[in-house]
Structure 1
Amino acid sequence: MFSRTSRSNGAQSPEVVGFYDDDTGSIQYLVTDPDTRKAALIDVVMTFDPQNAAISSERVDAILRFAESEGSEIEWILDTHPHADHLMASSYLKERLGKPNAIGEKVKDIAAMWRDYYHLPDAFDPAQDFDHLFADGDTFKIGNLPVRVMLSAGHTLGSITYVVGDDAAFVHDTFMQPSVGTSRCDFPGGSAEELYDSLKSILALPEMTRLFIGHDYEDTPAWESTVAEQRRHNIHIGGGVHKDAYVQKREARDKTLALPDRMLHVLQLNLRAGRLPDDEADGAQYLKIPLNKF
């Protein structure tokens, strides 16, 4: 895991540190109001080894130590969607820090769909495991920085973007870096048409807005661009690509992609904010994996 800092540009501009998770190509964010040092964590990853079904908080704890060393006081634990490729640290962080956790309200619809896939009709109550379920247009603050929630469906039906201050947006699995394009949308509930609309909504933000993405898989990972750069240079949608052409290209690409190796393991946990199953009679915890459904 390594980190990179994007400095504040002044009043109403957050300081952002991105932490790269090598195992999953995920970027985790520490977002700090430079005036108050109040902060939020976005899309933080628990280490999960699918081969041995082993979980560790070692890297999460390293991020917390970094935040403490920088004088950042965490007041929000945020996720953009129920991730399919990594185990979210939301529940662990909530227990460790005693701070509220949040995700988009449409996680309730995602949970209803996955109850059928897992044949767990009574599982997944997001209102129990998340303190806040944000709707499109909701607002809150990180310190003195205003935050606006944008519904950014497509990758999942309930993905959300956090627009922080006047120059930062955490756009998760929508955009990739301009030279790579955009994110897949072939999981249950995903939609290339909806993803195109979400991308266009993000591109309507002011052109110097810093965009922080959810993943990069290049040899030298990068995760920050601007609206202006994405408008001009994104290989999938830049330069005014028509919706029909985008959908055709995105769907053709998605047909070539395998499921993430952690997906069926972690989604049943992420729909509980990463909370592990209750102990069974032998004191151990167990996952349920559907066979031959995908």
Structure 2
Amino acid sequence: MAESRPEVAGFYDEKTGSVQYVVVDPATDRCAIIDPVWNYDEAAARTSTESIDEIAAFIAERGLTVEWVLDTHPHADHFSAGVVLGERYGAPRAIGEKVIEVQKLWKKIYNFGDDYPTDGRQWDRLFADGDTFKLGELEGRVMLSPGHTLASITYVIGDAAFVHDTLFMPDSGTARADFPGGDARTLFRSIQRILELPDATRVFVGHDYRPEGREARWESTVAEQRRRNTHLQDDPSEDEYVAMREARDDTLPLPDSMLAALQVNTRGGRLPEPEQNGRSYLKIPLNQF
């Protein structure tokens, strides 16, 4: 139905292969920003705003009102720009409620002190499985879909599902499940739940790594994923999928920015508190991985 079909604009970040989204209710010109990227140069330890500036230009050109800034999970390969954009537009920020478990896990890894809260207060709303929210006249629904991380959720807005790092484009398969708190068996079950959505549901992925150098893509459908996804098309059993996923994950390096990104993203996209000289510092756990 036309009234349940949001407009979706994707913004591709070449460095990380990430896709950021602006989801628009055409009836009201209200929008949500999903998984915005705060650019980070590892060599210089410097943040910048090229990616969100592109989003801001689109919003300004269209005269949109930002109603939500949404994260699907605490990302491992880029800093979240949720706080930057939430403050810019005065919009509430949200993530899945299981982020609390991710915070507790990474608090131990980083050996953070009591000044690092693990109750999700860094966001304005923590979504539970099945929660709903309004985007203009559209209804959004939250599906818990862990496996890649403990906290991963899928946003279903009208006929569009934003599946983060669970499914990739069909020629790229599915997401890794070997980060702390990840689990391949849980991921398989989350994927099956996504594939139970109506066939025509548009599926928007969180990354595209452009296999064989093709152009970046980020939209498919549930039917296409079920039929053509290279990790799912032969209808593997749960055990077969887990064996494939775990063997593949054993060959993958950690993302370059993971140890920097998680201490920012589990704070909702905030840098650590500045020290007495006014600068923030990242903490890297040596020989942890």
TM-score for the superposition, normalised by structure 2: 0.96
Counting only pairs closer than 5 Å after superposition, residues 181-196 of structure 1 correspond to structure 2 as 181-196=173-188
2: CA distance between counterparts of 1:252 and 1:124? 35
Is 1:164 the counterpart of 2:157? The answer is: yes
Correspondence for 1:221 among 204, 216, 221: 216
Q: Which letter maps to 1:135?
A: A
Correspondence for 2:42 among 35, 45, 50: 50
CA-based RMSD of the aligned residues comes to 1.0
Is 1:136 the counterpart of 2:126? The answer is: no
SS in 2 for 1:11: helix
Is 1:280 the counterpart of 2:275? The answer is: yes
Counting only pairs closer than 5 Å after superposition, residues 58-137 of structure 1 correspond to structure 2 as 58-122=50-114, 123-137=116-130
Question: What are the superposed Cα offsets for residues 107-133 of structure 1, whole Å, 9 maximum, x if unpaired?
Answer: 000000101100003224453210000
SS in 1 for 2:172: coil
Residue matched to 1:147: 140
Residue matched to 1:255: 250
Identity among equivalent pairs (%): 55
Flag structure 1 segments of 5+ consecutive residues without an equivalent.
1-8
Question: What are the superposed Cα offsets for residues 236-260 of structure 1, whole Å, 9 maximum, x if unpaired?
Answer: 1124221111110000000000000
Q: Which stretch shifts more, 89-98 or 17-26?
A: 89-98
Offset of residue 265 of structure 1: 0.4
The 8 Å contact of residues 141 and 156 in structure 2, kept in 1 or not, is answered as yes
1: CA distance between counterparts of 2:119 and 2:272? 14
Question: What are the superposed Cα offsets for residues 13-36 of structure 1, whole Å, 9 maximum, x if unpaired?
Answer: 100000000110000000000001
Residue matched to 2:167: 175
2: CA distance between counterparts of 1:233 and 1:254? 21
Residue matched to 1:27: 19
Q: Which letter maps to 1:64?
A: A
Flag structure 2 segments of 5+ consecutive residues without an equivalent.
none
Question: What are the superposed Cα offsets for residues 206-241 of structure 1, whole Å, 9 maximum, x if unpaired?
Answer: 000000000011121111000000111111112422
Question: What are the superposed Cα offsets for residues 26-50 of structure 1, whole Å, 9 maximum, x if unpaired?
Answer: 0000000000111000000001001
Structure 1 segments of 4 or more deviating over 3 A?
A: none
Residue matched to 1:3: none
SS in 2 for 1:129: coil
TM-score for the superposition, normalised by structure 1: 0.95
2: CA distance between counterparts of 1:40 and 1:126? 24
Correspondence for 1:198 among 190, 199, 206: 190
The 8 Å contact of residues 94 and 100 in structure 1, kept in 2 or not, is answered as yes
Q: Which letter maps to 1:282?
A: N
Counting only pairs closer than 5 Å after superposition, residues 237-252 of structure 1 correspond to structure 2 as 237-252=232-247
SS in 1 for 2:139: strand
